[in-house]
Amino acid sequence: MSEKKLYGIMAEFDTPTELVDAARRVRDAGYTKTDAFSPFPIHEIDEALGIRRSILPFLVFGGGVLGLLTGLGLQYYTHVIDYPIIVGGRPHFSLPAFIPPAYELTILFASFTAVFGMLFLNGLPMPYHPVFNVPRFALASRDKFFLLIERRDPKFEYEETRKFMESLNPQEVFDVEE
């Protein structure tokens, strides 16, 4: 390593099974600042890396409730408070007729929360990330699987961690520059 700063050490694997097995051993060795990269979602990796369940579902539920209240509130305000007018002999607050718009807004708000909540929690959009400095990493979106231990991991020790990564039977081990 010359003057360029090290971000972490990355290992490349050929199959998802190898990746998950390696991730388990990394976790068992006590590393915590780790990440895996794959061209498609692998469910087993969550447990192998010790990824905790996201709070996203609760946010989406909150978004839905907010949408419902917005829908009902909007219709209540416009038809009961601001401009009460009798239409078709219905009461000012005609709940059955107000359900469809409130229902649609529930779904709209919940969907926005799901998408933008996911992007926000993932820290996207992110135009630059050190992992892209490894030329082989372009294959992470095609057919290769990568495992990363970051330098800020308390257990990170360059020589030792690199040796440990090499012991996991990877195709190759790379230094990731900042």
Partner 1 sequence: MQDVKEFREQMQPAILEGKHDFATVSDKIGDITLKRKTPFHWFVGFAIAFLITQVLLMTITYLVLTGVGIWGNNQPVGWAFDIINFVWWIGIGHAGTLISAILLLLNQKWRTSINRFAEAMTLFAVACAGLFPLLHTGRPWLAYWLLPYPNTMGMWPQFRSPLMWDVFAVSTYATVSLLFWYVGLIPDFATLRDRAKSKVFKIIYGVLSWGWRGSARHWHRYEIAYLLLAGLSTPLVLSVHSIVSFDFSVSQLPGWHATIFPPYFVAGAIFAGFAMVLILSIPLRHWYNLKDFVTMTHLDYMGKIMLATGLIVCYGYAMEAFFGWYSAAQYEYFMIRNRIWEGPYWWSYWLLILCNGISIQLLWFKRFRQSEFWLFTISVIVSIGMWLERFVIIVTSLHRDFLPSSWAMYSPTIFDWSMFIGTIGFFFALFYLFVRFVPIISIFEVRTLLPEAHVHGHHQDFEEIVNEVEIEKIDKP
**Residue 3, φ and ψ in degrees, nearest 5:** -75, -20
Half-sphere exposure for 126 (CA within 13 Å, toward CB): 11
Q: Which of residues 65-124 bind partner 1 (CB under 8 A)?
A: 74-75, 78-79, 82-83, 87-88, 90, 94, 97-98, 100-101, 103-105, 107-108, 110-112, 114-115, 117-119, 121-122, 124
| Nearest CB to partner 1, comparing residues 1 and 126 | 126
Q: Does residue 161 belong to the site contacting partner 1 (CB under 8 A)?
A: no
Q: Which of 139, 172, 175, 177 is in the footprint of partner 1 by CB under 8 A?
A: 139
Number of residues that bind partner 1 (CB under 8 A): 68
143 binds partner 1 (CB under 8 A): yes
Q: Counting Cβ atoms within 10 Å, is residue 1 exposed (0-12), middle (13-18) or buried (19+)?
A: exposed
Spatial separation of the C-alpha atoms in residues 145 and 114, rounded to whole Å: 27
